């Protein structure tokens, strides 16, 4: 079975993989089912990528873009279906995630989510907070610009209160005000379904991420696609603005 997987070097895995899970709607259209059914199928891919990352052992963080600040523009029917799915997913999967020693982290304007979702998410965070094998960081009601604006607002408040000196604000200080400052920046961003956009995802943290775009619709994404993306990442030379290390 594993023979069919693209070859990857387990000693050089990205520490943090971020994913824009795109194409649920187009998959649904192709299959002749509802958009909600497309998201439901997408949830199976979420399970598959978490399992595959966990199995690789040295991936520290997997960030998943599940609901953006712009997604509220979708029909109420679709938005409601997405949050119902989230609660259902938590009910079915949380125990196994916990057993796998996975810590759940949430980033975004959580207070703007439906109350039931907030309660379910808080339960995930509380239950898994001591887990150490891997972090699954889910972006919900998340926007990269909103995150930067929220950080700026908090820095301004701290400056007014005398807790931070304006002249002392540098990149490291600013980064401490982001939603999940303790996580490393993504090394690899995977976007499915062929679109070549960041779509407001982790704008600050993506500065030096390698971007791999796959044509696959998210509901079709499985372990071989993850390995393909990692293999492409490993074939790149990361220079971080400097010269290639010899």
The count of residues in the chain is 246
Query: Active-site residue 22, yes or no?
Result: yes
Which of residues 42, 108, 143, 186 is near ligand FPP by CB under 6 A?
42
**8 vs 134, which CB is nearer to ligand FPP?**
134
Q: How far is CA 195 from CA 4, 21, 136, 204, 218, in A?
A: 26, 11, 24, 20, 12
Q: Please name which of 67, 68, 70, 21 lies closest in space to residue 42, comparing C-alpha atoms.
A: 21
Catalytic residue among 2, 9, 22, 150: 22
Assess 108 for contact with ligand FPP (CB under 6 A).
no
Q: How far apart are CA 228 and CA 233, in angstroms?
A: 9
Q: Where do we find the tokens 């002749």?
A: 32
Assess 216 for contact with ligand FPP (CB under 6 A).
no
Assess 14 for contact with ligand FPP (CB under 6 A).
no
Q: How far apart are CA 4 and CA 2, in angstroms?
A: 5
Query: Active-site residue 71, yes or no?
Result: yes
**Which 134-153 residues touch ligand FPP, going by CB under 6 A?**
138
Assess 85 for contact with ligand FPP (CB under 6 A).
yes
**14 vs 25, which CB is nearer to ligand FPP?**
25
Q: Which stretch in 10-18, 41-49, 147-155, 158-166 sits in contact with ligand FPP by CB under 6 A?
A: 41-49
Instruction: Tell me how far, at minimum, the Cβ of 243 lies from ligand FPP, in Å.
Output: 38
**Which 184-213 residues touch ligand FPP, going by CB under 6 A?**
193
| 229 touches 212 (CB < 8 A) | yes
Q: How far apart are CA 30 and CA 25, in angstroms?
A: 9
Phi, psi of 94 (to 5 degrees): -55, -45
Assess 17 for contact with ligand FPP (CB under 6 A).
no
| 213 touches 195 (CB < 8 A) | yes
Burial class (CB in 10 A: 0-12, 13-18, 19+), 165: exposed
Q: Which stretch in 2-10, 39-47, 123-131, 163-171 sits in contact with ligand FPP by CB under 6 A?
A: 39-47
Which of residues 13, 14, 24, 229 is near ligand FPP by CB under 6 A?
24
Assess 19 for contact with ligand FPP (CB under 6 A).
no
| 104 touches 138 (CB < 8 A) | yes
* Residue numbers annotated as active site: 22, 71
Q: Catalog residues that contact ligand FPP under the rule CB under 6 A.
A: 21-26, 39, 42-43, 46, 64, 66, 71, 85-86, 89, 138, 193, 218
């Amino acid at each position: 079975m594993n023979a069919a997987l693209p070859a990857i070097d387990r000693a050089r895995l990205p520490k943090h993989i971020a994913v824009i899970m795109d194409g649920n709607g187009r998959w649904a259209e192709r299959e002749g089912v509802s958009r909600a059914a497309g998201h439901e199928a997408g949830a199976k891919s979420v399970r598959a990528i978490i399992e595959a990352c966990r199995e690789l052992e040295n991936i520290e963080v997997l960030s998943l873009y599940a609901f953006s600040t712009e997604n509220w523009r979708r029909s109420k029917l679709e938005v409601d279906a997405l949050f119902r799915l989230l609660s259902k997913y938590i009910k079915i999967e949380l125990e196994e995630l916990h057993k796998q020693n996975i810590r759940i982290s949430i980033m975004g304007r959580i207070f703007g989510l439906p109350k039931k979702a907030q309660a379910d998410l808080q339960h995930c965070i509380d239950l898994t907070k001591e887990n150490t094998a891997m972090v699954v960081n889910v972006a919900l009601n998340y926007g990269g610009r909103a995150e930067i604006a929220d950080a700026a607002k908090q820095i301004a408040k701290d400056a007014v209160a005398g807790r931070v000196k304006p002249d002392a604000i540098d990149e490291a200080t600013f980064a401490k005000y982001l939603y999940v400052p303790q996580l490393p920046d993504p090394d690899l961003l995977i976007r499915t379904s062929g679109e070549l956009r960041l779509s407001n995802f982790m704008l600050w943290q993506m500065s030096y991420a390698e971007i791999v775009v796959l044509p696959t619709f998210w509901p079709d994404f499985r372990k071989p696609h993850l390995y393909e993306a990692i293999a492409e990442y490993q074939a790149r030379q990361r220079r971080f603005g400097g010269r290639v290390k010899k």
